[in-house]
Amino acid sequence: MKITRLKGFKLLLTIVLALAMMTGSGCVKTAVKTGVHLSAVPVMDLMMESLLDSPSSTLLKDGMASNVLLVTALAEMDPENQGLLSKTCFLYTSYGMMVEDEDPAYAVELYSIAKEYGMRSLMTDKKFAKGLEEGKKIPELTPLLGKKYMEALCWTGLAYGLYLMQNMDDPMALMDMPDCVAMVQRSMELDEKYMFGVGKAFMGGYYAMLPEFLGLGGGPDASAAMFEEARAISGGKFLLVDVFEARFLSTYVDDRDRFESLLNSVLEADSSALSGGEGLNDLAKVKAKYYLSIEDSLF
């Protein structure tokens, strides 16, 4: 299911909105009218938890594809709902990660949409929004955002960063990197253990891509240290850390043995060892198998 490539996407979204407003004994409609924040409803978090703990990457991917349109519709029904906008950003970012290997162009679309919803979530903070209107840079403004915005900061930064990583042949991409890094770093300041250390895993990949001489905190040593910090959060059970290290750091330093060792260990690991993240680990295995299949092109 390719959400943004459906020619009738806007029409389809309108239909979903209409159905959502008419069904469920008017529950959704009533919630919006009375100002109930849908993201605060436990069902939303339970849905996310259920997706992440899916017993296979196929179920996880199908679940993301099925739910992203519904959550988008709900977000458009309650456009000032910071939490719901953040959840929508998360879904699009996660779905992009699932399809980027088979369809990079489609992943770029998804990351772009994720960033849009993420920025809308962050801009529900009046000081942040005013700062942007005044022309201030995102790295200047992220310290204004507190714990309430931790998830939105993390996923908006990841969406933006993953979008840029798919466009590294564009010299302008490096110029935008400080924005996504500032968001991810602020999210880590607020909760470095969030989602098994996904922020640190991203920063490990980011550091691997930036030569030390640029003075932006990059280089292989910084990358390796960040991956170790990420790995420590889950006790090595969050397998995407190993996948990111193999894909970005091992290829950068031309360490083919480390690349193969990391990815083979991912394939041999027990996905269910990570409570609440079995689906993510199964996704890591799919990526590990793919990267091993294109190993010669990466070295």
Helix (H) or strand (E) holding 247: none
Q: Domain locations in the chain?
A: 1-27+43-191, 214-299
The model's pLDDT over 119-136, given as tens digits with 9 standing for 90+, comes to 999 999 999 999 999 999
Could you tell me which CATH number the domain at 1-27+43-191 has?
Answer: 1.25.40.920
Note the pLDDT of residue 32.
Answer: 44
Burial class (CB in 10 A: 0-12, 13-18, 19+), 7: exposed
Phi, psi of 29 (to 5 degrees): -60, -45
List average pLDDT for each run of 10 residues in the chain, which is 299 residues long: 43 42 42 43 54 58 68 82 90 90 92 96 97 96 97 96 84 80 96 96 90 67 96 97 97 96 97 90 93 96
Query: What is Dmax (Cα atoms) for the chain?
Result: 61
